[in-house]
Amino acid sequence: MRAVRPSLPWRFVSAALVAALSAAAPASAQPAPDGGSDNDPLAPGDSPEVPDDGPTPAAPPPPVVPDEPLPTRPNAVTGNTRPVRARMFGRGDDRAEHERLVAATRARRRRAPGDPEQLELPGIPDAWFFRPRVGGRARVFVYLHARGADPRENCARFAPVVTPRGWLICPQGPGIRGDGHRVWNNNAALAHSYTMAALDGLFRRFPRRVRRNDNVVMGFSEGAFVAMQTGLMEPAVFPRWVIFAAHDGYVGMNTELYPAARRALRRVYLLTGAGDGIVERTRRAAALMRREHLGRVELRILDAAGHQLPPDFAPVVRRALAWVVANR
């Protein structure tokens, strides 16, 4: 028997029924990219908001990678290590830097002709000094200025005749008169301490070129007073004196120092002008020192000169220095 073929209207009806049933059935879940469902139905009373499970923990910071430590090199003396840094410049740069530093040092040392250098002394006035023009360990000549004199100018005046033989150093007195002028306040003990501090400072700065003993002390007027006192206190350090305008009272007040001075003093040069008001006291000083055997004494009285440094300065002082440093 031949199958009955549905009529066209029935096919339309059946298609409409299928469409109606599909619309009434629940939609099938579609997987979301994160594995969930894009259209999961919400239960009654559910909130579309994300549940609050507390603050979201912050993401941990990225780990800090420590810098690679610098290679180290052992120190042969202490045993410690120090970083070995890579060279940033070549040998040509090092040579240029060295030449620059040398030029800067020379520029700092460059002074006007005849200007002294300054020696810093902690706690007391700085001293002026000139370097010797001889090599090796040289003798030190200390000049102690007169009352109200300018130590810097005095030092520059003595330098041409002293530096061919040794160092010249000029301490400054504690009293200030203005414009660089100084006084010793008749304080021989203070002048002694200033002188020894200046000598020690010079030795610390130039330890291989400065003598500690057998040096020369010089002084004029008030400087003569403190110079003779310093020489008596330190006869081994200053066994040679050059004194301008000496006075017997300057050396006669410390007789307890004579025994050590007799053993150590070698040569004493006393120089005064014939017109100086203390010329007779200078003669008495020479006689006293000879009588007490305080070194070998030479006395010179300058004609046409008063209470002053020698008018014909260079030859007179040069002769005095040549005599006082002679070994015979």
What is the reported pLDDT for 184? 97
Tell me the two tokens of residue 174. 């504690």
β pairing state of 81-83 and 117-119: unpaired
Nearest to 270 by CA among 254, 293, 292, 290: 290
Separation between Cα atoms, residue 223 and residue 225, nearest integer Å: 5
Instruction: Give CATH for domain 115-324.
Output: 3.40.50.1820
Tens place of pLDDT per residue across the chain (328 aa): 455 555 555 555 566 665 666 655 544 444 443 444 444 433 444 434 434 444 555 666 666 655 555 555 555 555 555 554 445 556 666 777 777 777 656 655 555 667 899 999 999 999 999 999 999 999 999 999 999 999 999 999 999 999 999 999 999 999 998 888 999 999 999 999 999 999 999 999 999 999 999 999 999 999 999 999 999 999 999 999 999 999 999 999 889 999 999 999 999 999 999 999 999 999 999 999 999 999 999 999 999 899 999 999 999 999 999 999 998 6
Helix (H, G, I), strand (E, B) or coil at 99: helix
At a CB cut-off of 8 Å and minimum separation 6, what does 150 contact? 179, 180, 181, 182
What is the reported pLDDT for 9? 56
Domain ranges within the chain, ordered by starting residue: 115-324
At a CB cut-off of 8 Å and minimum separation 6, what does 32 contact? 38
Nearest to 222 by CA among 198, 254, 190, 196: 190
What is the reported pLDDT for 158? 97
What is the reported pLDDT for 178? 81
What is the reported pLDDT for 179? 84
Phi-psi region of 195 (alpha: psi -120 to 50; beta: other; left: phi over 0): alpha
Angle CA(241)–CA(244)–CA(246) in degrees, nearest 5? Answer: 85
What is the reported pLDDT for 272? 96
Tell me the two tokens of residue 320. 């005095």
At a CB cut-off of 8 Å and minimum separation 6, what does 131 contact? 117, 163, 167
Nearest to 140 by CA among 75, 205, 94: 205
Q: What residue spans of the chain are helical by DSSP H?
A: 8-24, 91-109, 151-162, 188-205, 222-233, 248-252, 258-264, 279-291, 313-324
Separation between Cα atoms, residue 173 and residue 230, nearest integer Å: 14
